[in-house]
Amino acid sequence: MENSVLSVRHLTKAYGHRQVLHNVNFDCQRGHVVGLVGANGAGKTTIMKAVLNLVKFQGVVTINGQRVGFNHHRELTHVGSLVEAPGLYPYLTGRANLELFADATATQAQRIQEVSRALEIETVLDCDVKTYSVGLKQKLGIALALVNQPSLVILDEPMKGLDPQATKALRELIVKRQAAGTTFLISSHILDELQRIAEDLVVINQGRVICNTSMREVLAQNQHFLVIKTLQEDQAVSILRIAGYRVVARHPLRVKLRGKDVVAQILRTLTDHNIMIDDVRHEDGDLEQFFLHMLDQQEAQHA
Ligand SMILES: Nc1ncnc2c1ncn2[C@@H]1O[C@H](COP(=O)(O)OP(=O)(O)OP(=O)(O)O)[C@@H](O)[C@H]1O
C-alpha cells in the first residue's frame, strides 16, 4: 500500500517442526496506531521479532518501502521497539542507559528530558537501574524505544506492569507522537486500553490473521445489550424468550437489542408479568467482546 510504513507479506515462521506463523499479511499506515491482538501463544511476539529481524522467517517485510532481512537492516535504524523484557544495564543509571542508546546529536539531552518527563521517570533518572521496580524498568524500556523519535515504534505489551497513572502517561505520549506522524504497532491484552489508542486492528489466532480491520469498523459492528437486574431472573428469562427477545445471559440478565427491539416494550413485557425490575442499563459491545466473538467464530468453524 502506498502510505504503508510497515508491510508484512506471506510471513511464515517455524520453530523446529512447529509452524507458528502461517502466511501473515498486514500493513501499518503512516501515522496510525495498529493494535495486534490474539490469545496467549497466538504469535504476536514472533511477528514483532520477525519484523525486527530478531528471528529468521520466510516472507517479505518492508519498512518505508525497503525490504528488511538478514542482509538488509538499514531501515531498522528508524524503528524503536520494546519486545519482551527491556534490555537494560542494571549497574548504570536510567540516564546513562538512555545516553548509551540515544543518537549523539545536538538534541540528545533534550530528547532524553522530553521522553523521561512524559513517562514520569525524571526523578529516578540518576538512580541505578538495579534499584528500579518492574514498572519503572518497563517505563525506561519504553523511553529507550521512543528516545530517538523513530518513525515506526513496535511495542509488545507496553502497559504490562504499569500503574493507572503510568498507563495514562504512556497513552498520552503515544497519542502525541502519533499526531506528529509516528506509526505504532502495539500488542496488548489490555483491550480497553488498546481500544482507546488504536485506529487499526490485526487479530491473530494460532499464527494466522483472522481479522484486519479498523477500530471504527469494530465498534460500529458491535452489539448493544440491555442489562436488567431483578430477583426473578429465571422467570424473567422465560417470559422474554417466549415474547421473542434474545436473552444472551442470565446473571445478570442480558438481552441483545436488535434494530426492531424497543426498550420500553421489553420492560413492559416484564412488568405485565409482575416482574420487579431493580435496575436497567445499556451496554455497548467493545473490543473485548468483538475479540471473544471472533475467537468463538473460529472455534465453531473448526469444530
Ligand atoms: N523460541 C521459541 N522456541 C519454540 N517455540 C517458541 C519460541 N518462541 C515462541 N514459541 C512458540 O510460538 C508460538 C507463538 O508464541 P508468541 O510468543 O509469538 O505468542 P504471543 O501471541 O506473543 O503470546 P503471549 O500473548 O502469551 O505473549 C507459541 O506457541 C510459543 O510457544
pLDDT of residue 208: 94
For residue 61, how far is its CA from the centre of ligand 1 (angstroms)? 19
Place of cell 493494535: 35
Atom 2 of ligand 1: nearest residue by CA position: 15
Atom 12 of ligand 1: nearest residue by CA position: 20
Q: Residue 101 above 90 pLDDT?
A: no
Phi (first) and psi of residue 10, to 5 degrees: 50, 40
Q: 32-36, 84-88, 198-202: which has the minimum mean pLDDT?
A: 84-88
| Domains observed in the chain | 4-214 (3.40.50.300), 223-284 (3.30.70.260)
pLDDT of residue 55: 92
Q: Residue 303 above 90 pLDDT?
A: no
pLDDT of residue 2: 64
CA 55 to ligand 1: nearest atom: 1
Contacts of residue 224, defined as CB under 8 A and 6 or more positions apart, other chains included, come to 256, 257, 282, 283, 284, 285
The C-alpha R_g of the chain, in whole angstroms, comes to 23
Atom 6 of ligand 1: nearest residue by CA position: 15
Average pLDDT over residues 111-120: 94
Average pLDDT in the chain: 91
CA distances 144 to 19, 73, 101, Å, are 32, 19, 7
Q: Residue 187 above 70 pLDDT?
A: yes
- pTM assigned to the model: 0.85
Say what the ipTM of the complex is: 0.97
When pLDDT is cut at 50, 70 and 90, the band that residue 218 belongs to is confident
